[in-house]
Structure 1
Amino acid sequence: MEAPAVLLVMGVSGSGKSTVGALLASKLGWKFYDADDYHSEENRMKMGKGIPLTDQDRIPWLCSLHNILLRGVGCFLYFGNRDVASGQHVVLACSALKKMYRDILIRGRSDVPLEVDESAKERLAGEQLLVVYLCGPFEIISRRLLQRKGHFMPPELLQSQFSILEPPSGPENFIQVSVDQSPLEMADAIMEALHTK
């Protein structure tokens, strides 16, 4: 399989997205973005108070992430050449809990202006993005969240994430990895899947 332009590492809070995403980016030599770094202060405050985000809270955040992806990969997508210096492969760690959210990450929204060439957007919507779904039961992920310190997302919001979770399915381009292993083992399993998919 030809390497995708973007690996989207998704899952509920506490599934290991940031850790696994950073490991993958390091192993692959790709650029890493953590979607949590791009939440508005309002979103962070809301989550910090234990209030789940709504679609209206998330959509501007997802549109910003879409533009970040296009800026990162747009040049080589536009020219169709992985060797163009300003184009790069990207790993994005993002909850992307609903299919609608993943669609916005890939395609953006027609009512939000693009910051890059339209043709880059069209190319990203194809096989250029691979969703890596980190999945596992509530009990395991809840235990991990309770051990995590200093994050704005409180463990009490985990149930709200499971409630809206729409795991990827066909025709989405995705692989699924169980969280019932260490982050390094998850990253190794993803690397193996990339070579065999």
Structure 2
Amino acid sequence: MAAPDALLVMGVSGSGKSTVGAQLASKLGWKFYDADDYHPEENRVKMGRGIPLNDQDRIPWLCNLHDILLRDVASGHCVVLACSALKKMYRDILIRGKAGAAPKCEELGKEEKPSEVQLLVVHLSGSFELISGRLLKRKGHFMPSQLLQSQFDTLEPPVAPENFIQVSVDKNLSEIIATIMETLKMK
């Protein structure tokens, strides 16, 4: 695979996606987006009530994020996106847009060729106990800690042939960033 146009920093809530993603973007001089900032209000309300999102809630949000990635990459910008992207299908949507979600998003016309984003997935992984402890300390976020189990239940960790690396969140932030930066040098 060619060098990535975008990095997806993924994992369950509380794994450090926003912190790691923002710091990576700053180090690389890339644009940074936190997918949480793009949730429609109805998704925020649902999660705030302790109701897990389903595919119907997530697919339009992910299609919108794909469009943002594609727009920036097409204009010559590299991007870091912090997004849970718990299922392979969700990561496929971020790479291919609606074509990655077929048949759940409207089908692309037969003559249209989907545009892909060259994406390197950075999976921040950790135990339920470690991440749960972090969530309990977090204040002012719309995602309540009681939804963490639903995120672990939904999680489909990336596997080959996906372009990914897995980084344990039991390391400190500088070690996590160094591991990712080292991987990027090899791409």
Query: TM-score when scaled to structure 1?
Result: 0.86
Looking at structure 2, the residues matched to 123 and 96 of structure 1 have their Cα atoms a distance apart, in angstroms, of 16
1:122 is matched with: 115
Change (3 A) 1:112 1:182: farther
Looking at structure 1, the residues matched to 107 and 50 of structure 2 have their Cα atoms a distance apart, in angstroms, of 32
* Matches for 1:148-187 after TM superposition, within 5 Å: 148-187=138-177
2:130 is matched with: 140
- Following superposition, the deviation at residue 113 of structure 1 comes to 8.6
Residue in structure 2 matching 1:91, options 59, 77, 80 = 80
1:56-76 deviation per Cα after TM superposition (whole angstroms, max 9, x unaligned) = 0101100100100111102xx
Aligned-residue identity in percent: 74
Looking at structure 1, the residues matched to 106 and 37 of structure 2 have their Cα atoms a distance apart, in angstroms, of 21
1:97·1:164 contact (CA, 8 Å) conserved in 2? Answer: yes
- Following superposition, the deviation at residue 2 of structure 1 comes to 5.7
1:23·1:184 contact (CA, 8 Å) conserved in 2? Answer: no
SS in 2 for 1:19: helix
Query: TM-score when scaled to structure 2?
Result: 0.90
- Following superposition, the deviation at residue 108 of structure 1 comes to 1.0
1:78 is matched with: none
1:20·1:184 contact (CA, 8 Å) conserved in 2? Answer: no
Looking at structure 1, the residues matched to 139 and 116 of structure 2 have their Cα atoms a distance apart, in angstroms, of 39
Which structure 1 residue ranges, 5 or more long, are not aligned?
Answer: 75-85
Q: CA RMSD in A?
A: 1.7
1:25·1:32 contact (CA, 8 Å) conserved in 2? Answer: yes
One-letter code aligned to 2:63: C
